[in-house]
Structure 1
């Protein structure tokens, strides 16, 4: 009995891999969920043997860190105007915009916010702005941490909302018994469906910045 003989799958030539090319493919894989990012998955996309990637990354964690550090390297530097508090606001928005453009990286960066050298300029920018406002030392670390906590938390809300989180709460609040037991929550059911929205972020960021400015 005759059958179709398949040609062997072409393999990438030896030593043809480059770091940027690996990270480009790794980012495409991670866009489907960072939990799916493995050396084997990236090698398959590259039509290469996993061992070829081990020349660059000895473990999956090293690959993830390199990719997260690459994302941080895309952070837009804040402007420098005559108002340090306005510049801090620009810094915060630039950072949140970075997370919004790379939603797949939010959980990884939240767990490991300093995966490589590109994290250092980000902290330096923030600390320099805060120093201009008279906030230094321990207070500066706390203020910088507060901005990061707001952004990572807010970006997690956005990711969850994109995935449909909150729909079950809306259904629960539509039940008369639930509405009666939780009247204040029911009264804001509409706005709660917009959690993680841009205007809500601006409101909270404004309150945070106002509080920092008021303590100087």
Structure 2
């Protein structure tokens, strides 16, 4: 029997077997790691050694599959128990959210374009609003702060990811440092004074500082108890 016929028979057997939703989502994430554009129903089926029809039994469209993938990812955000410091809890929430985004870079674009990625998005929002309520921040102000945290994380990740992928096989920090060193000092004295920091923009230390500034601002506007 030829290898082609053997693969065909294996695929036929796989079609008739029962595949699980979890198995489909695992295979989908493997495919998505190669870039979100590479994610197709056929590519996922190939990863599983199955027919695309095996997927359509569970997900009628690619959008349904992507929503389930995003829900799965957002469910990995670690929501810790409340402490007596709600501002620290808010910072912890933001940091945990950013960590999951960093682990799943393919999810950034679809999170922007899929308005209802699943119940875990609602669970996350409820958790953040609960933290803010403990600080007597509610209503539109709470929504604005929650959106601000999401925007910081999505924007920060997209910003640094773009930097890291623009130059293959070249350290972006070294490229930027070289470019900055060529600036005329009489025109850009302030830029050159922070050249070391600018060449490492988007670092974890920069994120921690920016997040703390946001948290401090939230604390300053919270209603007194």
- Normalised TM-score (structure 1): 0.88
Alignment of 1:44-123 (within 5 A): 44-112=46-114, 114-123=116-125
Corresponding residue for 2:182?
A: 175
User: Which of 212, 218, 223 is 1:206 aligned to?
Assistant: 212
Query: Quick one: structure 1 residues 16 and 184, their matched pair in 2 at CA, closer, same or farther if it must change by over 3 Å?
Result: same
Matches of 1:113 and 1:197, distance apart in 2: 29
User: Which of 192, 199, 213 is 1:186 aligned to?
Assistant: 192
How many residue pairs were aligned? Answer: 212
Range moving further from structure 2, 201-210 or 112-121: 112-121
Query: Quick one: structure 1 residues 169 and 7, their matched pair in 2 at CA, closer, same or farther if it must change by over 3 Å?
Result: closer
Matches of 1:14 and 1:5, distance apart in 2: 22
Corresponding residue for 2:127?
A: 125
Structure with more of its chain in helix, by fraction: 2
Range moving further from structure 2, 18-27 or 181-190: 181-190
**Structure 1 unaligned regions, length at least 5:** none
Corresponding residue for 1:144?
A: 146
Contact 1:72 1:119 in 2 (8 A): yes
Matches of 1:194 and 1:171, distance apart in 2: 12
Matches of 1:97 and 1:148, distance apart in 2: 12
CA RMSD of aligned residues (A): 2.1
Contact 2:176 2:199 in 1 (8 A): no
